[in-house]
Every structure is written in structure tokens, then in C-alpha cells.
Amino acid sequence: MAAAEAGGGGRAPACLCVLCGLPAAGKSTLAQRILSAAAQHGWRAAVVPYDDLIPEVAFQTRVEDDGVKLQYMHTEWKSHRQAVLQCFEQFLKRPEVFAEFPRSSLINRAAWERCIQALRHPEGLKPDGTPLLFLLDDNFYYPSMRYEVFQLARKHSLGFCQVYLHCDLESCISRNRGRTRPIPAEVILDMVKRLESPNPQKNSWEMQSVTLNTTDDISKCDIQRVMDLISWALTNPLSPAEDDTEQKEADRLKCATSVVHQADQACRRLISEAMKTARESQVPSEQMRSLAAELNESKAAFLHNLRKQFLQEAPFIREEDVDVEHVVKRAVDFFDDSKKEILLRFIKEHK
């Protein structure tokens, strides 16, 4: 089999396959179908369900303490996801001691050991050239989440591919109700707004992606498409990127400046609209000055946090990889909520 020859240097070829989509879109069902097909190909495969690995507390939200509703953040969310990738990295470096758990309490040890149990031979894990397949089962609703997996695959010269499960909202909500542990419907509704499906036209690193319509049952044709994609990824591992740290940092700063500039312009328009509404609501002139000052202070804090967050968390390399317009719109929506609260308070106080 071609995939069995792709490892090079005595190392077995391996592939990280990202399964992404809304909750209850059918990712777990698809993963089990792929496991069966992988066994027929003679591959060793494992499903990595993020919901089992990451504790529920990591998905609880909180508001920034500075009072500016820049965004709702997932508590320890990023650290937990990185811990999962660290487990992968340790396994890739030393598969013969895969039962050795990283020094981290951020993920569920028992769940991780169940993930890789399928990779164990009766005599232990041997570097016999048998292809390894990891199916990463998570929502992966932001490109940044998927890009971290791509970076890991590139660092270790692994195959990388993505399968996006497109399922209509009504079906997802209906299936979720039938689960043993359903998640709140509002979580699914919120994720619909956040989800950004793979876009090879915008992100070149997402070229190896397929979309399956899982509103109805998954067909044999769907499984074949996925297996063809994985086979291609196994035989075409990524190459490590050259060290261009300085250029990456320069690009990040340039992109952050563009995001903050456009957000500033959008916030100015929102403040102008708020001041117009306040005048029409007959807010006294002396209070208009106070309103303008408070709105501008809120804007300054918002822009400061936006720049800081973008530089710390944006994993993208090049500006063209970032949909600046979308990032700005999503961020400014939070400032708009803050603006509305401030404006409403002034109008109520002086009616």
C-alpha cells in the first residue's frame, strides 16, 4: 500500500485528520465509520474526542474584569487545547512509551489512554511502518483552532486533512435532544454564529478538506471520499516551515494595526450614532459631554484589549490568511453592546 511507504527514515507515516462541525452534526458517528474503514486498510487509528479530554470547567465563560465587554472568554480554554496537542507531540516523539503521561493535569488521563489504546499491539507499539491515523473530534469552529493542528502536523512532517460536517441547525438541535447528555440549545445557536468552515480560497493550508452533508445518513460514497483524502495526506506529509520568526512577528504587528485601525473607524461611527440618538432623546448638553467622554473611554479600552488579544492569540502567519473584515466586525459587535448600555443609561437618567 502506498501509504505504508510514506514514512521515510523508518518512521511510520501518520496523519492528523480534523473532524469539524456543529455539535450533533455526526462527527462521532463518522469517526466510527472511518475506524472500520481504516482497519480494512490495515491502518492503526484512534479517535481523539476533545469533549472527553477537556473538563467541562474549561468551557465556562467569564467577562473581562475591566468592565469593557470586549468578548466572553473561555476560562483556561486555550491552555487545555494546547495540552491535548502536547500529548500528541510526546506520542509522536516517543511512541514506544506512549503510556507515559505528560506532566499536566489539564486533560483527562484516562480519556487520553483510551484514545491511544487502539494503537497498542499485543507486544506493544512497534515502529513497523503501519500508518497511524488520528481523528480529532471537536467543533473546531475557528480557523485558528484548526491551524494549531496544521502547525503540529507540519512541525513533525505528518499528513494533515480536514472533514467539515455540514448539517442543518434543526437536525443538530433535534439530535442533541436525544443525547444522554445534551448540551444547551443556546450553545448550538451561538456556535452557528461563530463557526467558520474550511475555506481553501482564503487559507491555502486548508486545501486538503472535504465537506460532507450530514443532515441525512452518511453514505458509503462519503466514507470513500474521506478515505481517499486521508490516503492522499498519508502519502503527502507536510514539510517543516523555515524559521521566519522575525517576518511572522512583523506580519502579526502589521495585521494587528490594520484590525485596530478599522475597528477604531467603526467605533467612531457607532459613537456618532449614539450621540445623535442622545440629542434626539433630549439629553441635556452638559450630560452630552459626559456621555461622549464615557463612550470614548470605553472605545480606548476596547481597542487596547483588542490589539493585546490579537497579538497574543492570533496564530496566523500572513495578513492574507486573516479575514480582517470579519475579525473587525465580530470584535466591534462587542463594543456596540457596551455602547448601547451606556447610551440607554444616560437616556433613562435624563428622561
What is the tens place of the pLDDT at every residue in 306-327? 887 776 655 544 444 556 777 7
Among the three residues 235, 256, 287, which one is the final residue of a domain in this structure?
235
DSSP-assigned beta bridge partners for residue 134: 16, 46
Residue 243 predicted with pLDDT over 70:
no
Query: At which of 210, 235, 260 does a domain end?
Result: 235
User: Tens digit of pLDDT for each residue in 221-237?
Assistant: 999 999 999 999 999 99
| Predicted pLDDT at 1 | 44
Q: Which of 149, 262, 255 is nearest to 198 (CA)?
A: 149
Greater model confidence, 76 or 261: 261
Half-sphere exposure at residue 189, Cβ-oriented, CA atoms within 13 angstroms: 3
Amino acid at 69: K
Do 224 and 258 sit in the same domain of this protein?
A: no
Any domain includes 312:
yes
**Element at 11 (helix H, strand E):** none
Average pLDDT over residues 166-176: 93
Residue 194 domain boundaries: 2-235
Is 240 part of any domain? no
Span 143-154, pLDDT tens digits: 888 999 999 999
The Cα 280–Cα 194 span in angstroms is: 35
Are 198 and 267 found together in one domain?
Answer: no
Residues 209 and 271 grouped into a single domain: no
Max mean pLDDT among 28-32, 67-71, 247-251 falls in 28-32
How high is the pLDDT of residue 224?
96
Same domain, 274 and 165: no
Note whether residue 271 is domain-resident: yes
Taking 3-state DSSP, the helix, strand and coil percentages for the chain, each rounded to the nearest 5, stand at: 55, 10, 30
Number of separate domains in the chain: 2
Dihedral angle over CA of 244, 247, 253, 259, nearest 10? -90
Q: Is residue 74 part of a domain?
A: yes
Q: What CATH number is associated with residue 6?
A: 3.40.50.300
